[in-house]
Structure 1
Amino acid sequence: MTTIDHQRLTGYASGGGCASKIPPGELEEVVGRLAALASPAPRAELLIGFDTGDDAAVVRLPGAADGLAAVATADFFTPVVDDPYDWGRIAAANALSDVYAVGGRPLVAVNLLAWPRDTLPFELAREVLRGGLHVATEAGCLVGGGHSVDDVEPKYGMAVTGVADPDLLLRNDRGRPGMPLTLTKPLGVGVLNNRHKATGEVFEHAVETMAELNRAACAAALDAGAVCATDVTGFGLLGHLYKLARASGVTAVLDSAAVPYLHGARESARAGYVSGGTRRNLDWVAPHTDFGAADEVTRLLLADAQTSGGLLVAGEIPGAPVIGELVPAGEHAIVVR
């Protein structure tokens, strides 16, 4: 871990990681109107765009001899941990995840940095950028500069460009009844991060989970012939599952006992280390979910705002738990059992 003058980065953030996102309901109300404004002619080449709230934009490259599609995404957020190097690693893995979530391969990224120059040493920013470079290099993704601004709240992330086979895309609107649901990373980083921010406790297993690339999960999904997936980030498992079920016109049946959690997550949720983002996620999905006998802690964990979470794949992947299945559309988009 790297610290300078014992600066606690999370103390400079009103939110933390992907929990600092704009609430999903508010975001959809604004973004949903933009699709109608786009010209239909160029949209013919836009394979994934506004319509279903998928993870990245994908556009067919006109005249490309190998039939490639370009993948574009951007993701940045406030500090989720106090160590600047770890924050950089996590933010980079999170940004790259959007490319993997649609079945793509990242090629080049540029840094996005907001920094309070008057209150935080700029040496810390260098450590953040070093962490991001480390993970991008691990992914085989070049980093070519970026953009920075002076801001009262530190923020970091990346804009990433990648490529994908347009015939082998992973989309959130391709789910069909009978498909199993697989989750490639355990839940619970949201409550552990919130506990870290409140107490200073460090949860190394949560840090390493967030810094882990979804490259292997993407490759496994494609090898298994999957066509439907999304990553699990700020809207929680329930939020991203709701978007998938809604886009695909199906109901998702979730086996809550099969969902994996990080060590200490349930204890932390029970102790009240729950972010406002998680509670907003739960409020958003509740009208569309039959929770059955699930208790409050389970509901909160299923809605826990993840930072750099795993892939949620409609299909089986070796080594990853099956947590439910898709069935014909019913009264609710999600049924928890």
Structure 2
Amino acid sequence: MTDLASLAEYLSGHPAVAEKANIQQAFGHALEVSGKIRLGDDCAAIANPSGTGHLLFAAEGMLGSFVEDDPWFAGYSAVMVNLSDVAAMGGRPVAVTDILWTPTEQISAEIWQGMQAAALAYSVPIVGGHTTRTVSGKAMLGAAVLGHAGDRLITSFDAKPGDLLVIAIDMHGGYRGDKPFWNASTITSPERLRADLELLPSLAEKGLCRAGKDISNGGIIGTLAMLCQCSAVGAVLDLENLPCPMDVEIEKWLVSFPSFGFLLAIAPEDLENTMSDFTATKITCREIGHFRETPGITITADGESAELVFRKPGVHAAGDVFDSGEAMV
């Protein structure tokens, strides 16, 4: 797919992207009971009631089809994606809890083996949760994480017009089966996994990054849509500068969920220092666009541009209804 207008139409109508572009519908019911905590971030950032800094709290649910098709990796991912949420806020994880419903001991064991592998690799304990054995039905899996951060956070609300759009992503690895998940985690040493996650709180503590998100379901485009929505800004994404693995089509890459990937809003004067933090690592860090005052997302390439027009979730570009219940992670 090389035509920019066709690419924009494809991305605008992709179900996972549509869900992320309309993410406020998912948390809207909690607005009245969220207290003073802003909703839409990767973690709830709670002022530490007993000291300085912030407590971070988040949870992730795994897709039912994912748990059924690949229980070991679903367990691994339940831990991994929660740790990514904490890092995206400029924080460090403390512990994980799980919620697991399984009909058989075999499935339960596979899921637990995956969770254990991730907990050991990232050196974060699983300290409890809730496990239920069901007599029928399919396995269901969720997990929650507690983390901590200092006074400086990376939030979803503080991208400003004129900030540069920067991506930090692990390009090693490959797709796991036919899912749009780029796995660089299970092939990476535990030492590097932990060091890579430490890059984000380091940026926050140095005051180099005030806004960003981890790239999740919906990929680069879906995540950028959420970041723009929370910060009330628009963005221009330069596809010519976007790093993309060889032999991977751009339309697939733009909606892929990487095991390590973050979109950051960096002030122009902080770009050089931000980039230097990644020079001695295996993480690719590159400027791929900028934020603007005008709402919406524009993609550019070869001197041309196209606007993304997001549709409501549950409707294809042709108007066909589909089940969007599993488009959320």
TM range (shorter): 0.5 to 0.7
- Mapped partners of 2:225, 2:137: distance in 1: 34
Q: Alpha carbons of 1:262 and 1:327: their partners in 2 closer, same or farther (altered >3 Å)?
A: closer
Q: Is the 8 A contact 1:188 1:306 kept in 2?
A: no
Q: CA deviation at 1:230?
A: 0.4
- Aligned to 1:32, the other structure's residue is in SS state helix
Q: Is the 8 A contact 2:79 2:96 kept in 1?
A: no
Aligned to 1:239: 222
Q: Alpha carbons of 1:330 and 1:204: their partners in 2 closer, same or farther (altered >3 Å)?
A: closer
- Mapped partners of 1:180, 1:98: distance in 2: 21
Q: Alpha carbons of 1:185 and 1:56: their partners in 2 closer, same or farther (altered >3 Å)?
A: same
Q: CA deviation at 1:313?
A: 1.5
Aligned to 1:113: 100
- Mapped partners of 1:21, 1:81: distance in 2: 23
Q: Which string of whole-angstrom CA distances, capped at 9 and with x for unpartnered residues, describes residues 309-335 of structure 1?
A: 411112334243324232431263444
TM-score between the two structures when normalised by the length of structure 2: 0.67
Quick one: which of 182, 193, 199 aligns to 1:217? Answer: 199
Q: Is the 8 A contact 1:181 1:313 kept in 2?
A: yes
Aligned to 2:53: 68
Q: CA deviation at 1:103?
A: 1.1
1:163 correspondence with 2:148: yes
Q: Alpha carbons of 1:246 and 1:26: their partners in 2 closer, same or farther (altered >3 Å)?
A: closer
Query: How many matched pairs?
Result: 265
Aligned to 2:19: 23
Quick one: which of 205, 210, 230 aligns to 1:227? Answer: 210
4+ runs of 1 displaced by more than 6 Å? 19-22
- Mapped partners of 2:296, 2:166: distance in 1: 20
Q: Alpha carbons of 1:184 and 1:220: their partners in 2 closer, same or farther (altered >3 Å)?
A: farther
Q: Is the 8 A contact 2:172 2:184 kept in 1?
A: no
Q: CA deviation at 1:173?
A: 1.3
- Mapped partners of 2:89, 2:57: distance in 1: 10
Give the AA of the match of 1:58: A
1:184 correspondence with 2:168: yes
- Aligned to 2:24, the other structure's residue is in SS state helix
1:123 correspondence with 2:106: yes
- Aligned to 1:321, the other structure's residue is in SS state strand
Q: Which of the pair has the greater relative contact order for Cα pairs under 8 Å at 6+ separation?
A: 2
- Mapped partners of 1:105, 1:88: distance in 2: 20
- Mapped partners of 2:68, 2:300: distance in 1: 31
Q: Alpha carbons of 1:88 and 1:22: their partners in 2 closer, same or farther (altered >3 Å)?
A: farther
Q: Give the structure with the higher percent strand.
A: 2
Aligned to 1:132: 115
> Which ranges of structure 1 fall in alignment gaps of 5 or more residues?
1-18, 267-297
Q: Is the 8 A contact 2:93 2:147 kept in 1?
A: yes
1:322 correspondence with 2:307: no
Q: Alpha carbons of 1:91 and 1:324: their partners in 2 closer, same or farther (altered >3 Å)?
A: same
- Mapped partners of 2:75, 2:295: distance in 1: 42
Aligned to 2:78: 91
Q: Is the 8 A contact 2:95 2:124 kept in 1?
A: yes
What are the within-5 Å matches in structure 2 for residues 139-288 of structure 1?
Answer: 139-149=122-132, 150=134, 152-165=137-150, 167-185=151-169, 192-193=175-176, 195=178, 208=187, 212=193, 215-222=197-204, 223=206, 225-266=208-249
Q: Alpha carbons of 1:188 and 1:334: their partners in 2 closer, same or farther (altered >3 Å)?
A: farther
What are the within-5 Å matches in structure 2 for residues 32-71 of structure 1?
Answer: 32-35=28-31, 37-38=32-33, 42-43=35-36, 46=37, 49-50=38-39, 53-62=40-49, 64-65=50-51, 67-71=52-56
> Which ranges of structure 2 fall in alignment gaps of 5 or more residues?
1-14, 267-273, 302-329
Q: Which string of whole-angstrom CA distances, capped at 9 and with x for unpartnered residues, describes residues 128-149 of structure 1?
A: 2232223223333221122123
- Mapped partners of 2:236, 2:179: distance in 1: 32
Q: Which string of whole-angstrom CA distances, capped at 9 and with x for unpartnered residues, describes residues 184-226 of structure 1?
A: 225899x9446269xxxx99758547x9566133144324621
Q: Is the 8 A contact 2:183 2:258 kept in 1?
A: no
Alpha-carbon RMSD across the aligned residues, in angstroms, is 3.5
- Mapped partners of 1:249, 1:204: distance in 2: 31
Q: Is the 8 A contact 1:106 1:139 kept in 2?
A: no
Q: Alpha carbons of 1:134 and 1:170: their partners in 2 closer, same or farther (altered >3 Å)?
A: same
Q: Alpha carbons of 1:160 and 1:177: their partners in 2 closer, same or farther (altered >3 Å)?
A: same
Give the AA of the match of 1:182: V
Give the AA of the match of 1:38: V
Aligned to 1:301: 253
- Mapped partners of 1:206, 1:264: distance in 2: 20
- Structure 1, 67-76 or 84-93: larger mean CA deviation: 84-93
- Aligned to 1:184, the other structure's residue is in SS state strand
